[in-house]
Amino acid sequence: MRNKLLYFRNGLTFSMLQSGKNRQCDKNLSRIPTSELQYDFKPCFEAVLFDLFDTLVLIDDYTTSFDKSLLMMHTYLSHNGLDCSFDDFKSAYLIVEKEISAETACTLEEPHFSVYVERVLASLGAKLKAQTHLATQAVDEFSKEFARHISLDPQALEVLRFLHQRCKTAVVSNLTFSEFAWELLERFELDKHLDLIVVSGDINLRKPHPQIFNRALQHLGVQPAKALFIGDTLETDIAGARNAGLTSVQIMRRRPINSIIKPHVRVTELNQLISIFDFPADLGSTTLGEVDLACQA
């Protein structure tokens, strides 16, 4: 049974840079359904951990999705006594978001989204009946709209099913309203192929803090050197995983940027995880350098 880490608060080319060695593999591998792939080797990794957003599930357009969802929140609060324009509400929210980000920059704590809403209402001088309850309900309204802009990566279920048959699997996600992450995992049936789900809003701690990775690995009973983490964001996913001692894999969902943060492996699609699953478990060693895995046209 899946463990819940829930603290109650509701053409392929492997470019191996070491010694300049290059290693070729079947360029059609990423197009083969994982159900047809057969391996006789014993997997080197004992656990594969995933980020959720823009890794297993995709956001259509974050800015548009967020604005529409915030509008639904504002509409709900307006129907319950809030007297301000959407533009003023959004401006107040952005200020509060920036304040909380600064306040938690060192600790990497993760207050629930409803805390943001309550602070926004306070900053606007709103005095609504049952304001704490309304803030929680407003988050639900935001979630309903945001869910309309989320889709499942077409390879996610197949890859996750393949990996779960061979090792432990988990999701480690940043989200202030953690209940939404759980709903998505159930909606897309990803939870059936996971041993553990860790959401920052549940434990009041977010990536890149290494402790969120360490807690997941402790519950899985796996050492960092035997674990692989895949995510899309350098500053949170890759930096956090590397600092916690995991092998880091960046899935390239957007144009690359120059950064001192480097993943051990880059992939362009989830199916490519199958190709690297027999890499040595000490791939995270800094002596191995960086491996780029890219589909060649």
Beta bridge partners of 267: 251
98 and 233 part of one domain:
no
Cα separation, 49 vs 216, in Å, equals: 9
Mean pLDDT of all residues in 186-206:
97
Beta bridge partners of 22: 15
Assessment of whether the complete model's pTM goes beyond 0.85 = no
State the pLDDT at residue 44.
78
Do 281 and 45 contact (CB within 8 A), yes or no?
Answer: yes
Cα separation, 119 vs 94, in Å, equals: 11
Provide the sign of the torsion angle of the four alpha carbons 223, 212, 106, 252, taken in this order: positive
State the pLDDT at residue 170.
98
Q: Measure CA 141 to chain center.
A: 22
Mean pLDDT of all residues in 86-98:
98
Last residue of a domain, one of 147, 174, 197: 147
218 and 285 part of one domain:
yes
Q: What are phi and psi of 194, to 5 degrees?
A: -125, 140
For tokens 């909606």, what's the residue? Answer: 187
Q: Which two tokens stand for residue 143?
A: 């979630």
State the pLDDT at residue 128.
87
212 and 69 part of one domain:
no
β strands within the chain, DSSP E: 3-4, 13-16, 22-24, 47-50, 57-59, 150-152, 168-173, 196-199, 227-231, 247-251, 265-267, 291-294
**Length of the chain measured in residues:** 297
pLDDT, tens digit, 9 for 90 and up, residues 116-138: 999 999 999 998 888 999 999 99
139 and 204 part of one domain:
no
**20-to-17, 89, 166, 288, 290 alpha-carbon distances in Å:** 5, 55, 31, 11, 11
Contacts of 80 (CB under 8 A, 6+ apart): 128, 129, 134
Proportion of the chain above pLDDT 70, given as a percent = 78
Tell me which of 30 and 185 has the higher pLDDT: 185
Provide the sign of the torsion angle of the four alpha carbons 224, 226, 231, 235, taken in this order: positive
Query: Residue 37: which CATH number?
Result: 3.40.50.1000
252 and 170 part of one domain:
yes
86 and 199 part of one domain:
no
162 and 272 part of one domain:
yes
- Residue 88 pLDDT class (50, 70, 90 cuts): very high
- Residue 157 pLDDT class (50, 70, 90 cuts): very high
Q: Which two tokens stand for residue 276?
A: 């690297």
> Which of 213-222, 233-242, 271-280 is predicted with the least confidence, judged by mean pLDDT?
271-280
Task: Give kind and range of the element (H or E) at residue 213.
Answer: helix 210-220
State the pLDDT at residue 184.
98
Domain hosting 122: range is: 62-147
Mean pLDDT of all residues in 41-49:
77
Side chain identity at 26, as an amino acid letter?
A: D
211 and 290 part of one domain:
yes
Q: Which two tokens stand for residue 169?
A: 């699997």
Provide the sign of the torsion angle of the four alpha carbons 245, 248, 254, 259, taken in this order: positive
104 and 167 part of one domain:
no
Contacts of 212 (CB under 8 A, 6+ apart): 172, 198, 200, 203, 205, 206, 240
Q: Mean pLDDT over all residues of the chain?
A: 83
> Which of 32-36, 50-54, 147-151 is predicted with the least confidence, judged by mean pLDDT?
32-36
Do 186 and 52 contact (CB within 8 A), yes or no?
Answer: no
- Residue 255 pLDDT class (50, 70, 90 cuts): confident
The residue among 179, 174, 29 whose CA lies nearest residue 108 is: 174
Q: At what angle do helices 113-123 and 86-103 cross, to 10 degrees?
A: 120
Contacts of 286 (CB under 8 A, 6+ apart): none
Q: State yes or no: pLDDT of 265 exceeds 80.
A: yes
